[in-house]
Structure 1
């Protein structure tokens, strides 16, 4: 009976999410083609950990469907989100960061296949790929696991998204970064820029009005040894998660970019800068085909999973990594009391001292976490609700108020 009630409440909230999608703000700049016929596109979002993929996904679909925190590996399985407006359905699949099995076991403390297979599974159903790169990262290269994925799926069109530009002091420096990450080419043509346009960042492509060409030899133009070619062919046949971390790192050791990006976008997922242009580009790439989902659907993610991930994100933001990654979160109660949805979630700790750290002095820390989760859930579900978080260790409830 309890299980049936949980299912009924989740179905009711899924309906609320669909209504929320219908009432979401709509961009007045959406392509006119969308107004004439139903069109569809599914996009995969991939990139290294902590590059801002989840926040970018939320911005594109205008809903907080993916949990976001300042720590890496917040997303541990693919999240499918959708935005339908003006006859266009845009489906975005947010994927975990490209990591290896050792990182998953030692840092994230998870051995779940979805954490490792997610990025490739996102590509399997996509017609376009968004490769997200942190503009503030010290490395001027595309991550070797991302490169392996791109080389395995060269038939998919792709765009480079330079994220976190709000944190870049001299944006003109990003042009050199683009040159490197794109191997000097965008849309099959050499990148051309004018100095007078460097302060104005948007979609970077080719134009007859831009006159200063920056040359760079692409990896295709470089001669590779027979040994490298043999290794390449062997590794490209294997799914990325089945390749050793050092194998892909060695294979792409002197390859820094991808020559097949059709466009480059400079965005801030935090402020929303550049998102409209990116969304419009995705609509332009869409095809005349049937919708995959109901037009009022926002996400396929179950409401209880959304709640658990929201709690996990807040724990990551408020606790040391070694503790936060080791915690297990589970929603145990989910029922309506009048007009209020009452939710109870448990945080399981292996050690009692961890539980007391999670609670904080006088339970102050868990109260802060709970408040943030409540706000996040109410904003998404548009439903009056209350989330109560209990902290346990080996089945025993821990309380710091005494």
Structure 2
């Protein structure tokens, strides 16, 4: 009698420069919207775990913040979280926007990955937007900076190349028992999921520096007997002008943000949601340890 295939489980970190499509890739692989997505760079602020089930394998995907040159304590904590995610993983996948090519920040990340000696793969994203002839020189340049075991060409937006990548991920994780129940999609607490869903709408519905000057915290998350949930969320902003923009004329903007976030949360949580938003000015929140801890980050200077 043939023995059943062994169970496999392991961590795969998705790293890269801002706006490479890391969150879109994880959402596509898991089939669920676990990481918030916007056209703006630096949307992801902390590591998000997404669980991909493939045959006998449980692939624990770690979506990390984009790696860039930090200025604020928040920025430093985000970049530290990204490199920590890569260090803790069985495999690090460097995701590169094929359309943008070998920018200086991508070159630096690839070189640092190469110097680390960790197992790493190369994933070229947005390959549907470039000519095939332009990919080979890009792969060659990146491969000179780090020893990539595998190279994949995908479009996280359209799904092209994702089946091959998912199959390869299922094969590469080590043998071992699953760490999460089979039907779990993430380890993200519902309170944090609520805050991130609101923050996504701030990115989608406001512009320039406003989304980067705001943080979101869930103050209250209460289940009701009828199956619905009441969620109270506070949006902290660094400047009075940002507060005025977020509230909008006669409250129009905050109502719009709340309406779309409530709709998305009801779909994610699969139950009715009563969402209440409050905007508070808090100068220097992005330098406060308490605000960083509230979104799952730590000051790397205290490590």
Using structure 2 for the length normalisation, give the TM-score.
0.83
Shift of 1:51: 0.7
Shift of 1:292: 2.5
Shift of 1:273: 1.8
Name the SS of the counterpart of 2:84 in structure 1: helix
Q: Name stretches of at least 5 consecutive residues in structure 2 with no aligned partner.
A: 283-303
Q: Relative to 1, partners in 2 of residues 1:294 and 1:73: Cα closer, same or farther, differing over 3 Å?
A: same
On the 8 A contact 1:41/1:286 being kept in 2, the answer is: yes
- Post-superposition Cα deviations, 1:341-382, rounded to whole Å, max 9, x if no partner, equal 121212233444322211223333223322332233233222
On the 8 A contact 1:141/1:181 being kept in 2, the answer is: no
Name the SS of the counterpart of 1:68 in structure 2: coil
- Post-superposition Cα deviations, 1:117-152, rounded to whole Å, max 9, x if no partner, equal 112211222111110001121535672441343134
Alpha-carbon separation, structure 2, partners of 1:300 and 1:264:
28
On the 8 A contact 2:102/2:138 being kept in 1, the answer is: no
Name the SS of the counterpart of 2:213 in structure 1: coil
User: Which residues of 2 match residues 149-298 of structure 1 at below 5 A?
Assistant: 149-156=112-119, 158-168=120-130, 170-183=131-144, 257-258=145-146, 260-298=147-185
- Work out which of the residue numbers 343, 364, 374 in structure 1 matches 2:231: 343
Alpha-carbon separation, structure 2, partners of 1:90 and 1:310:
24
Name the SS of the counterpart of 1:269 in structure 2: coil
Does residue 299 (structure 1) correspond to residue 186 (structure 2)? The answer is: yes
Select the structure with the greater relative contact order (CA < 8 A; seq sep ≥ 6). 1
On the 8 A contact 1:130/1:159 being kept in 2, the answer is: yes
Residue matched to 2:258: 370
Residue matched to 1:387: 275
Alpha-carbon RMSD? 2.6
Q: Over alpha carbons, which structure has the higher Rg?
A: 1
Q: Relative to 1, partners in 2 of residues 1:276 and 1:56: Cα closer, same or farther, differing over 3 Å?
A: same
Does residue 123 (structure 1) correspond to residue 10 (structure 2)? The answer is: no
Residue matched to 1:309: 196
Residue matched to 2:288: none
Q: Name stretches of at least 5 consecutive residues in structure 1 with no aligned partner.
A: 1-32, 184-256, 395-402
Residue matched to 1:86: 55
Residue matched to 2:299: none
Alpha-carbon separation, structure 1, partners of 2:239 and 2:148:
48
On the 8 A contact 1:34/1:88 being kept in 2, the answer is: no
- The aligned length equals 281
